[in-house]
A and B are shown apart, each in its own frame.
Chain A
Amino acid sequence: MDPLVITAHTLTSAAGTGIAANTEALKHGTSGLRPSDLDAVTLETYIGRVPGVEAITLEGRLAPFQCRNNQLAELGLRQDGFAEAVTAAAQRHGPDRVAVLLGTSTSGIAATEAAYHRRDPQTGVLPPYYDYQHTQNMFSLADFVATRFGLSGPAMVISTACSSSAKVFADAQRFIAAGLCDAAVVGGVDSLCGMTLYGFNALQLVAAQPCNPLDRDRNGISIGEAAGYFLLERATADIPGPRLIGHGESSDAHHMSAPHPEGLGAATAMQQALGRAGCHGEAVDYVLMHATATPANDRSEARALTHSLGTGCRAVGSKGLTGHTLGAAGAVGVAQALASLAGGFIPPTAGLQTLDPELDLDARADVEQRPVQRVLVNAFGFGGNNCSLLLEAAP
């Protein structure tokens, strides 16, 4: 495939607001997880909560979008000069030539949860201030970002659970290849809410302690929130910046909430990403795994890695830093991969004490300083929905 260049990006997560803070946390394995202190949640668990989200007020034409997810979306847009880069791209290409392709799993559902507490006791009617279209509806996030920048290219929200914000990269590549746009704002935003915390808890997938991916004693996820954005354009020799050189997507066709035991779909996605880039497994410095820290997920993904890239494959799990940010997980993974490509290091697996020997992977608790040329990033979701992205350092 024709590669895309990432001309701007940013990440806000529990591990940090902006790229510099996230890179420091990534390099040193510094976790942003803390005991749950959400008002609406009484579960004993750790969460990856982003500080400062509640302080964001959306004003003017953006006021109807006010909800935790769009507050986090706005906080993220304000970091690393990303908003300025989008504005410049809109001037360069025209606002109708910039697509907005974003991922989320639950959009602004926290607004609906809050509104349900304030239903009319007699009629059950939701309070008059509740704005479904601009908060809870899935499209709200793309609508918000497009409205903020006055963009009018193709726009959509992809919502395939935890692969959402990885799949948008593949879409951007196809949309640009088809001539529908010249640039795309992609990424994902997902925010903490009662539905996911109680839902994953009902599935018995939530850990009481901070999650520890790839560890022998791992026993579930910690849920987090994040906003990550990327500006993608056609890669020409004169534009510097890291490249998206491959993407792969697949379905497990196995089960709604459990991964394929042999990681069949995951392996297909990774092989496709490598194939599109014309790369062999040896060209990949390491795999930034989806590694949610449930026993079954990490086992299944490890088998997929072994199958696609051989045993003892160099692998990193990063959800000990941020928690599992669900629909934003792909965006978080890509931003972390870019930090490692730019900084010349293979990140540690945060929270790792004893590597699970059954996984047959080379995962480490310490950072390794060394040039990194290519990273494969995985994001897998409910419904057996898999996506794998291959990123390459700036030429």
Chain B
Amino acid sequence: MNPIGLYAVGLLGPGLEDFESARPVLAGEAPLTSRDVQIPPPGLLPANERRRTTATIRLALKVAEEATEGADRSQLRSVFASSSGDMDIIDRICDALTHPEPVVSPVQFHNSVHNAPAGNWSIATRNPAPATALSGYTASLATGLLEAATLQLTEGGEVLLACYDVPSMETFAHVRPIHHPFAVALRLGPPEGAPWRLQLAFGGDVPADRCRVDELEALRDSNPAARALPLLEQLARGTPGHVTLQAPLGRSLSIQIEP
């Protein structure tokens, strides 16, 4: 594929509050000291809408806001990639359905759709541009990146990719073990003048790259969105490099990175 530009990164994970402050950890210059994850309330949403948001929506919007800081949020296309969507709501609704006279919360139901973060993002930013929501199971990051890059190359302009998964509820813990929230966002655009140039190649079946930092490698498999960590390490190092991500169906997505 032709090169695309990467303009900004958003990040939230255990001990990783945002991309800028996490740079030393990602570059291997500082240890990962904390395991805490605090998801802040979405600042861009009106109070009325903010009250109705879920952890999934707040997680996605946090990294989306970070990656679009200072950019024109009212125009860019967006891709929201999540393996499992809102596991919390799925748990609550499936539980409610076991009762003899099931009562499903209307707000929970409309927030149950996989594109709930996408819808809230478009409302928060008053952005009429197309928004999509997708899944590629544990390869949702590579799936979303391929979708976002294809959008940029074929439609032009800037494209926001947000990839996130919330922890599984207790009922799901053994069938879908995700133990902490993790989210990453990339703001893509034309390659000219971008801080990083990315060149993607889809295909082959090369194994995914591991993290260089052991503590980060321990996080990489713990959440589908954390598959971004080897890419984030390379970006934080500020040197040219190459990262391979797992794509669906046993394929791989390789990314050539040039600062």
Q: A-side interface residues toward B, CB under 8 Å?
A: 40, 42, 96, 105, 109, 112-113, 116-117, 119, 124-126, 130-133, 136-139, 142-143, 146, 151-152, 154-161, 167, 171, 174-175, 177-180, 194-195, 198-203, 249-257, 264-265, 268, 381-385
Contacts and interface: CB of A to CB of B under 8 A. Distances in A.
B97 A198 contact: yes
B114 A202 contact: no
Interface stretch (B5-13, B28-36, B102-110, B186-194): B102-110
A249 B174 CA distance: 38
Nearest to B97: A194
Contacts of B112: 195, 199
Contacts, number: 211
5 contacts: A112-B94, A136-B90, A138-B84, A180-B146, A251-B122
Contacts of B95: 116
B52 to A, nearest CB: 8
A155 B250 contact: no
Given A130-B175, A152-B249, A255-B123, 4 more contacts: A40-B97, A109-B90, A116-B98, A251-B130
B126 A195 contact: no
B134 A180 contact: no
A385 B115 contact: yes
B137 A137 contact: yes
Interface of B: 1, 52, 82-85, 90, 93-98, 101-106, 109-116, 118-120, 122-123, 125-137, 140, 143, 146-147, 150-151, 153-155, 170-172, 174-176, 202-203, 247-251
A248 to B, nearest CB: 8
Contacts of B102: 194, 198
A17 to B, nearest CB: 28
Given A116-B94, A124-B171, A254-B123, A143 B137 contact: yes
Contacts of A180: 1, 146, 150, 202
A138 B154 contact: no
Contacts of A171: 132, 147, 150
Which has the most chain B C-beta neighbours within 10 Å: A133, A179, A382? A382
A202 B97 contact: no
A171 B130 CA distance: 12
A256 B110 contact: yes
Contact of B109 (A139, A200, A384): A200
A251 B118 CA distance: 9
Contact of A202 (B106, B115, B132, B176): B106
A199 B122 contact: no
A139 B83 contact: yes
B118 A160 contact: yes
Nearest to A97: B203
Contacts of A161: 113-115
Nearest to B101: A42
A257 B1 CA distance: 37
Contacts of B171: 116, 119, 124-126
Contacts of A133: 137, 175-176
A303 to B, nearest CB: 16
A265 B126 CA distance: 12
Nearest to B124: A253
A178 B154 contact: yes
A256 B153 contact: no
Contacts of A117: 98
Contact of A156 (B93, B97, B118, B143): B143
Which 9 A-B pairs have CB atoms at the shortest separation, nearest pair first?
A383-B119, A199-B109, A249-B130, A159-B114, A138-B135, A251-B122, A139-B137, A257-B110, A132-B175
B131 A251 contact: yes
Q: Which of B85, B130, B171, B176 is packed against the most chain A CB atoms within 10 Å?
A: B130
B248 A143 contact: yes
A374 to B, nearest CB: 22
B119 A385 contact: yes
Contacts of A159: 85, 113-115, 133-135
A201 B98 CA distance: 16
Contacts of B143: 154-156
A152 B174 contact: no
Contacts of B52: 256
Contacts of B85: 138, 159
A264 B176 CA distance: 40
A152 B130 contact: no
B119 A152 contact: no
Contacts of B83: 137-139
B136 A256 contact: no
Contacts of A174: 150-151, 154-155
A254 B97 CA distance: 30
B104 A175 contact: no
Contacts of A130: 175
Nearest to A198: B104
Contacts of A201: 104
Nearest to B126: A253
A160 B132 contact: yes
A160 B1 CA distance: 26
B202 A132 contact: no
Contacts of B249: 143, 146, 151-152, 155
A178 B153 contact: yes
A257 B113 CA distance: 10
B126 to A, nearest CB: 5
Contacts of B135: 137-139, 156-157, 159
A81 B98 CA distance: 40
Nearest to B82: A138
Given A142-B248, A151-B249, A199-B109, A105 B114 contact: yes
Nearest to B127: A253
Contacts of A265: 128
Nearest to B250: A152
Contacts of A250: 128-130
Contacts of A179: 1
A382 B150 contact: no
